[in-house]
Every structure is written in C-alpha cells, then in structure tokens.
Amino acid sequence: MSGISRSQVSRLCEEIDGKSLPPAKAGVKAFLERPIEGDWPYLWIDATYLKVRRGGRILGSSPRTSVAAIIAVGVNTDGRREVLGMEIGTSEAEPIWTEFLRKLTRRGLRGAKLVISDAHEGIKMAVTKVLYATWQRCRVHFMRNVLAHAGKSGQRVAGAFIATAFAQESAEAAGSQWRAVADQICPKVPKLAAIMDDDTETDVLAYMIFPKEHRAKLHSNNPIERVNGEIKRRTEVVGIFPNEDAITRLVGAILLEQNDEWTVQRSRYMTLKSVAPLSDDPLVSLPAVAAR
C-alpha cells in the first residue's frame, strides 16, 4: 500500500484490536478475553515461535528474539470446536503454561478431561496442576521420535509393530499389546527401551479410555497444527514483528477468522450424542473417565 498515513495505520490497528468498535463488533482483544461457557472435555494446546524485536529500535541495533504464541483449541459438550485463547510467552517453561491455563480457567474454562499436546514436561506439569486432567502425548510426534531411534533398517518393522497397539479396541488390550511389542523389539533395538517405558505407554495411550468414535481426533495434535500452519503461512510475510502487540493483532485476527469459520459450519466436530456424556453435570455418570 502507498499513500497511507501513520494516523490511518493507527486507526486500522485500533479497529482490529476492537478499541474503537462498539461491543457488537468487538475485535481481537474482546475475542481473546471473552468468557468461556460450558464444559470443554477436550483441549489441544501448542506453541508457534515467531520473531520479534525488543525495545522498538531500528533494524540492526536490537537483537532478534523469538517468542511463543501459545494457543488453545477446545471441543465442548455440544461437539463444537472453538479457539479458546492465545498468549505470548517468552518460552514454553512450566510457569508460562501454568499461567496460560489459569487465565483460561479464570475466564470460565471447566470440565477438561483430556489435554493433547507435544511431549513437553512443562505442559504436562501445568495440566496436572491447573486442570487436573489426563494428558495425551501426541502420537504422531512420538512415532517420529521412535523411528528416528530405530535407524533406517528398523524403522518399518518398529513402526508396524507399535501400530498394532493403536489398533486395539480397548485401553487394556492396547496396553497389553504395547508391552508385548516392547518385549520383542527393545532387545533388538536397545535405544527404544527407554522410549517405550511405562510412563510413555500411559501418555501415548491415554486417549484409549475415551469414546471410540473420538479417538481418531484425540491421539494427536493435528487439529491445532493445521491452525499453526495457517499462522506460519500468514506470518512469514512479516518476517520479524516490531513488537508483541503486533503479533497479538495478526495472530489473534487469524484465530478469530478460523473460529468464525468453525462457527458457521453446519456439522459438529464431534456428534452431540457421543460427546454430551462427558459433561461434569452430576446427573451424568462417567466412571471410566472420572477414574482416570
């Protein structure tokens, strides 16, 4: 664009932020801070790193740093999917994840049963501390890690063996098959022994205790990675952001756009009949999930 003044840029930014709009047309800030209503049994969380300058100095006089755009996507007991929040953090340390989840709960987030993310101890600790929910380690990333340790010659065999655990009908059968596979392949590929220990089994197979019709969407972080892919595509044009407010403005607008797209979709992300029983309503009995 050419011939646009600083005041016009400022006005456009204020409109995007929602500072100069009436409540009915509130912008990014209102969207990211809106109340969260109802129960949200499933939550996907992830972070995308973006470059930003500190101190507002001109190019070359300020060091380049990266910040994490932390995002949460959830499914409620109506089977609807929404972007629940976004925060800019200096890293993915446990205190930052903890504060992010606490902000979500202060806005009304409740009823979380399963949180899906990449393998990160900070996330796992924050989920346990704040949401008291089960944590699911992304199965796709786990398999990449496994195959990297198996070597080129053993990747195909190891992948096929471990996949038999995922094909089981119940959590008990999946656990038994996991241990049987570990007993067979770990002696041949010693590097896999530590990866396929008891803790890893629990984390990777956590989704198996939930309804069968949901499992294809619960075992990995793919739902939120598609959102992150769009963020990466749109932010690559910028390169280095001048400040964190600029990141919030652009990424928040992308998330608002994605959320609006999900809202107008006629079909639910999960069927109402299958997801409604996950509600924390005391009239609903869900012993298998509550026990976990």
Give 50-90 pLDDT, tens digit per residue: 999 876 554 444 556 789 999 999 999 999 999 999 999 98
Return d(Cα 246, Cα 283) in angstroms, integer: 46
The structural domain count of the chain equals: 3
Which burial class, exposed, middle or buried, applies to 7 when counting CB atoms under 10 A from its CB (0-12, 13-18, 19+)? Answer: exposed
Residue 233 has which token pair?
A: 């595509």
If asked whether residues 230 and 95 sit together in one domain, one would say: yes
If asked whether residues 129 and 112 sit together in one domain, one would say: yes
Q: pTM score, two decimals?
A: 0.84
Q: Where are the alpha helices (DSSP H) in 88-133?
A: 94-106, 121-126
Q: Each residue of 237-259: pLDDT tens digit?
A: 998 999 999 999 999 999 999 99
Return d(Cα 113, Cα 225) in angstroms, integer: 20
What's residue 91's pLDDT?
Answer: 84
Whether 63 is covered by a domain: the verdict is yes
CA angle 209, 48, 52 (to 5 degrees): 160
If asked whether residues 159 and 132 sit together in one domain, one would say: no
Residue 92 has which token pair?
A: 């993915």
Domain of 19, in residue numbers:
1-29
If asked whether residues 56 and 134 sit together in one domain, one would say: yes
If asked whether residues 82 and 200 sit together in one domain, one would say: no
Give the contacts of 89 (CB within 8 A, at least 6 positions apart).
47, 67, 68, 70, 96, 100
If asked whether residues 42 and 183 sit together in one domain, one would say: no
Q: Each residue of 147-167: pLDDT tens digit?
A: 888 777 778 888 999 999 999
What's residue 5's pLDDT?
Answer: 57
Q: Each residue of 191-223: pLDDT tens digit?
A: 787 788 777 899 999 999 999 999 999 999 998
b/e sequence 73-98, b meaning 16+ C-beta within 10 Å? bbbbbebbbbbbbbbbbeebebebbb
